Copies of this chain bind each other. A is one copy, B any other.
Amino acid sequence: MARTIGSDGEKTEAAIREAAVSLIARYGYEAVSMRQLAAEVGVQAAALYRYFPTKEDLLFTLMREHMEGLIASWENARPDDGGAADELSAFVANHIGFHVTRRHSTHVSNMELRSLSHENLTYILKLRAGYEKDLRRILRDGAEDGSFRIGDAALTAMAIIQMITGVIVWFRPDERLSVEEVTRNYLTMTMRLVGASETVEGGRRKEYVHANAEFRAG
């Protein structure tokens, strides 16, 4: 046999990506063979090489698109005006929302960096550095105008990112907490962590969830 009835390059490529993200997230890049991936797609191993020149190139594509998606999501969610607290709220809410809806590719992007070639690793780390730099800027802005009380902006940025990325390690949808509740909790913790000044309004403590800090997917 050769070309199969109804076969379509675009559909096959999408199926490969989907199966690859799922398998690599579950078993790890090194543990997943091209034959195993092909079997999941319902195709022979040789067919994969029509779409990705090497196994590593496939991994790189998955990670690059994850990072580009994250950055695009943040650029879309970033508030045009408002103070540092608003920006930080939007950052945290977008980060959590993006990652909980992409558990598999997040796992891949966080765990498989060491399987990339030096060149591809550099590219991914550059994307990541730019994203993290934005968070540091928000923290410094807030520290300067008195919104936050922060010891070290770089250290605080890493602490926040690790805390909010870690959601996907334990959080499972369909459990006792919804995404919205989890996001609200993390927003509160983040705001306290940076020493954001709390204001009391009408006797009720004002927590840090504003309209534009709500979770927005996509």
Contacts and interface: CB of A to CB of B under 8 A. Distances in A.
Q: How large is the interface on A (under 10, 10 to 19, 20 to 34, 35 or more residues)?
A: 20 to 34
Given A26-B114, A31-B30, A152 B166 contact: no
Q: Summarize A's interface: helix, strand, loop or mixed.
A: helix
A38 interface: no
Which of A28, A152, A194 is the most central at the interface, judged by chain B CB atoms within 10 Å of its CB?
A28
Nearest to A169: B162
Interface stretch (A12-20, A62-70, A118-126, A182-190): A182-190
B177 A152 contact: yes
A188 B115 contact: no
A95 B30 CA distance: 30
Given A152-B177, A163-B163, A177-B152, A114 B27 contact: yes
A36 interface: no
Contacts of A152: 177, 185
Nearest to A155: B185
A159 B182 CA distance: 11
A158 interface: yes
Contacts of A192: 192-195
A92 to B, nearest CB: 12
Interface in A40-74: none
A111 B31 CA distance: 13
Given A114-B27, A114-B28, A186 B158 contact: no
A58 to B, nearest CB: 16
Interface of A: 26-28, 30-31, 111, 114-115, 151-152, 155-156, 158-163, 165-166, 169-170, 177, 182, 184-186, 188-189, 192-195
